Chain A
Amino acid sequence: MPVIEVNNLRKVYGDITAVKDISFKVESGEIFGIVGPNGAGKTTTIEMMEGIRTPDSGTISILGLHPLKDSKKLRQRVGMQLQQAALPDRLKVWEAFDMFSQFYERFVDAQELLESVQLSEKRNAYFSQLSGGQKQRLFVALALINDPELVFLDELTTGLDPHARRSMWDMISGLRERGKTVVLSTHYMEEAEFLCDRVAIFHKGELLALDSVNNLINELDEDKRVEITLIEAIDTAKLNELETVSEVTRKGVELIVRGSSNRLVVDVVETLANMGAEIRTLRIKEANLEDVFLTKTGSSYRTVNNHSSNAGDTES
């Protein structure tokens, strides 16, 4: 039985339909990612699953239970980190854990949790004295206080520095190893790529795509793209003549060559070598989740210059 089953879920705010007939399932032990532009309906969907917002129509089953009717039972077994939350300013970090642990039948050691999010030296700090990223980490840790079977993490790494983000990823991977089911939303495609078994792409309240990262990328059927910086500018006519090349863009010593064949790279390098051109850098761009995201959600700002530092790059 799936851990989560959502059918034809719908939520309307005034004249905005925040969630339009969304259906999906999440299997046990899965890390399920939700991505989508601002206002796509991620938080609304997550909070309806959490039982803190009421759907207008559709059904949700969480661990075989009803999110609203069985909320008391579910909250014992589920962990939640909200996109927006706070604690009283003058509550100390350790007191927050102490307090919340008393609400549960079963809870884990707060000290270990604090260590796992690198907050142990802040245990005596007031909530108001924490930085944004520290608060964020506190709430992720707090979501795990009851050793939940299922965790909802709404934008778990927003506001975290790269180091903290990495260690958060390790922590989430650790949850997978312990057989927990995780539903997370994120704006970082490399995060979804790294963590998620399957990713759902939301856009304007609709579920545009739902699959593993690999399948989503393969479906995209993108051109390959080779980005080359030469020592000296050359005439690109010869490259254009190549059968495997569909398009060449040149800007001074920088070339971008597109094509779909697996021979593209070999052909391009061979031709340049024959012309006696010297290559300073060569990058082969493969489609990644960001390309899928931008293509599916139809964002218009997709330009080559945006792709300078993606995780999928190969550099030589």
Chain B
Amino acid sequence: MKGFLKLTQIQLKLFLREPAAFFFTLMFPTMLLLLFGAIFGNGNKPIPQLNGYGNVDLLTGGFIGMIIATVGLMSIPVNAAAQREHKILRRLQCSPIRPIVYLASDVFANFITTSAGMILLIILGKLIYNLRLPGDPFGVIVWFVLSAFSFFALGYLLAAIAPTARMAQVVGNILFFPMLFLSGAAIPHQILPEFLKKVSEFIPLTHVIRIIQGFWFEGKWSDYYIEMSVVIGTMFVCLLLAVRLFRWE
């Protein structure tokens, strides 16, 4: 346990010293929120088609999805693969720490940074645009956690498969950007052409965002069984594969 806590603490310190990760997890989503808020011009005025919710309310759910995807597809695969490639994991392997404890601390540290990104986004949204808080906070929290874990699992899987950190980064980017644009995280889903809408159904992030936005707007759990299955399914498949393919070197 003390090994776990120490590792988590160190991972968090390293995160704070990594400008790119720090920026994309904590600053970038908030910047986008400000930017989009300005673009739409009307701040967070209630819109009848959105059940009285505003643009910023809608965007926040998308950006939370984006934070999850940033950590899962950009931070985790590169970090984990680099620690292996640079023989950092081998040095840890010489100590009594077990792989599972190392992994758990890495997951926990990433979860903390992802949550911090979300909380910062919500606080600033609230202060600047009077963001409405989730209609079903419990649903949002539960599915934020599960979605984060499912993207983390995907990230570790990429790290396990990719031969090098460079490769992990390339694959992470290839997955990240289409997901970002097709899932509704960055651009509203409604404006996509029919064909791309169909494609987006195959993207896990679409489902994550749909659930989070749904519960933000007081949606019912029973409306999202498909989305929930996709998130849980992604998590289990990736986790199983990642654990099987994990390598110290």
Measured CB to CB, the closest approach of chain A to B12, in angstroms, equals 12
Whether the Cβ atoms of A52 and B90 lie closer than 8 Å is yes
Asked whether A91 and B95 contact (CB < 8 A) given A82-B87, A84-B87, A102-B2, the answer is: no
Whether the Cβ atoms of A86 and B91 lie closer than 8 Å is yes
Report which of B18, B83, B90, B95 forms a contact with A103, defined as CB distance below 8 A.
B95
Q: Which of B3-11, B60-68, B233-241 contacts A (4 or more CB under 8 A)?
A: B3-11
Q: CB-defined interface of A53-95 with B at 8 Å, one 1/0 digit per residue?
A: 0000000000000000000100110001010111110110001
A98 at interface (Cβ–Cβ under 8 A)?
A: yes
Q: How far is the CA of A43 from the CA of B98 in the complex (A)?
A: 23
Q: How far is the CA of A142 from the CA of B95 in the complex (A)?
A: 10
A100 at interface (Cβ–Cβ under 8 A)?
A: yes
Give chain B residues whose Cβ lies under 8 Å from the Cβ of A84: 87, 90
Give chain B residues whose Cβ lies under 8 Å from the Cβ of A91: 10, 14
Say which size band chain A's interface belongs to. 20 to 34
Q: How far is the CA of A102 from the CA of B5 in the complex (A)?
A: 9
Whether the Cβ atoms of B6 and A90 lie closer than 8 Å is no
Residues of chain B at interface, number, CB under 8 A: 23
Residues of A contacting B: mostly: loop
Give chain B residues whose Cβ lies under 8 Å from the Cβ of A75: 94-96
Whether the Cβ atoms of B6 and A98 lie closer than 8 Å is yes
Q: How far is the CA of A178 from the CA of B96 in the complex (A)?
A: 23
From residue 110 to 145 of chain B, which have CB atoms closer than 8 A to chain A? none
From residue 218 to 241 of chain A, which have CB atoms closer than 8 A to chain B? none
Whether the Cβ atoms of A90 and B3 lie closer than 8 Å is no
Measured CB to CB, the closest approach of chain B to A214, in angstroms, equals 33
Q: How far is the CA of A82 from the CA of B92 in the complex (A)?
A: 11
B86 at interface (Cβ–Cβ under 8 A)?
A: yes
Whether the Cβ atoms of B94 and A80 lie closer than 8 Å is yes
Residue on B with the closest CB to A142?
B91
Whether the Cβ atoms of B91 and A104 lie closer than 8 Å is no
B47 at interface (Cβ–Cβ under 8 A)?
A: no
Q: CB-defined interface of A39-56 with B at 8 Å, one 1/0 digit per residue?
A: 000000000001010000
Q: CB-defined interface of B62-99 with A at 8 Å, one 1/0 digit per residue?
A: 00000000000000000000010011101101111110
A-B contact pairs, 26 of them (CB 8 A): A52-B90, A52-B94, A72-B96, A72-B98, A75-B95, A76-B96, A82-B90, A82-B91, A82-B94, A85-B87, A85-B90, A85-B91, A87-B88, A88-B83, A88-B88, A90-B17, A90-B18, A98-B6, A99-B6, A100-B95, A102-B2, A102-B3, A103-B3, A103-B96, A104-B96, A142-B91
**In the complex, the 5 A-B pairs of residues with the closest C-beta atoms, listed nearest first:** A102-B6, A75-B96, A90-B17, A80-B94, A85-B91
B interface vs A, CB < 8 Å?
A: 2-3, 5-7, 10, 13-14, 17-18, 83, 86-88, 90-91, 93-98, 248
